């Protein structure tokens, strides 16, 4: 109850406070990449219920001669790269928090297609609301393996508390300022999860 109240009150507070940033980022995206401004995608949330996550768009829609989208590295340039590196692309998720679909802290909501690949243990990451940031994000984010990330997610499910959430939010703030672990070691974002290695 305390966490839900905290989420809704502060989501509304930050949406109002950051309104100028929303406008500036929207104009930068429109100027550099055109429309749409927002990236909207279906993700599994609490108890695997599907919802639409909101983000600022960071990649162009450039395609090769065969009509296929170029790689993430080729489409993540200029303004989009800056927005991703500063985590400004995550700001629209405050509306997901306000709607009750997400929390400030929890396992990150991943792609719907990953659901079939999770082990029973890994599925427990959906026993809480997904978050804008989480225990895995402050312990490696995109720089660690999927298996390590899921272990951190389930650890959070078992050990969650209001004080832990405050700690995660503080570390997240420091990481964003320092631009820590934005990308994996081998790609502009992170490779897709294709199942467990074991």
Predicted confidence pLDDT, tens digits, the chain (198 residues): 788 899 999 999 999 999 999 999 999 999 988 889 999 999 999 999 999 999 999 987 777 777 677 776 777 778 888 898 888 999 999 999 999 999 999 999 999 999 999 999 999 999 999 999 999 999 987 778 899 999 999 999 999 999 999 999 999 988 888 766 554 433 445 678 877 765
CB count in 10 Å sphere of residue 178: 8
Helix 78-85 to helix 19-33 angle, to the nearest 10 degrees? 150
Helix 2-17 to helix 19-33 angle, to the nearest 10 degrees? 60
Distance between CA atoms of residues 111 and 88, nearest Å: 20
Q: What per-residue confidence (pLDDT) applies to 198? A: 58
Q: What per-residue confidence (pLDDT) applies to 185? A: 35
CB distance 40 to 54 below 8 Å: yes
**35 is written with which tokens?**
């429309």
CB burial of residue 76 (10 Å; 0-12, 13-18, 19+): buried
How far apart, in Å, are the Cα atoms of 165 and each of 36, 61, 83, 160, 185?
33, 36, 25, 7, 27
Q: What per-residue confidence (pLDDT) applies to 197? A: 66
Distance between CA atoms of residues 124 and 12, nearest Å: 29
């Amino acid at each position: 109850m305390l966490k839900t109240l905290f989420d809704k009150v502060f989501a509304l507070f930050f949406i109002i406070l950051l309104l100028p940033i929303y406008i500036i980022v929207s104009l930068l995206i429109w100027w550099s990449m055109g429309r749409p401004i927002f990236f909207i995608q279906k993700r599994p949330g609490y108890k695997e219920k599907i919802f639409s996550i909101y983000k600022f768009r960071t990649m162009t829609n450039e395609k090769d001669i065969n009509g296929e989208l170029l790689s993430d590295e080729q489409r993540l340039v200029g303004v989009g790269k800056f927005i991703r590196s500063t985590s400004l692309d995550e700001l629209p998720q405050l509306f997901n928090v306000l709607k009750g679909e997400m929390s400030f802290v929890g396992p990150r909501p991943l792609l719907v297609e990953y659901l079939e690949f999770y082990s029973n243990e890994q599925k427990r990451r959906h026993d809480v609301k997904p978050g804008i940031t989480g225990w895995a994000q402050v312990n490696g984010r995109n720089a660690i393996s999927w298996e390590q990330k899921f272990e951190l997610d389930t650890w959070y499910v078992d050990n969650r508390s209001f004080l832990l959430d405050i700690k995660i939010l503080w570390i997240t703030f420091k990481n964003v300022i320092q631009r820590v672990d934005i990308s994996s070691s081998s790609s502009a974002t992170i490779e897709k999860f294709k199942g467990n290695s074991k």
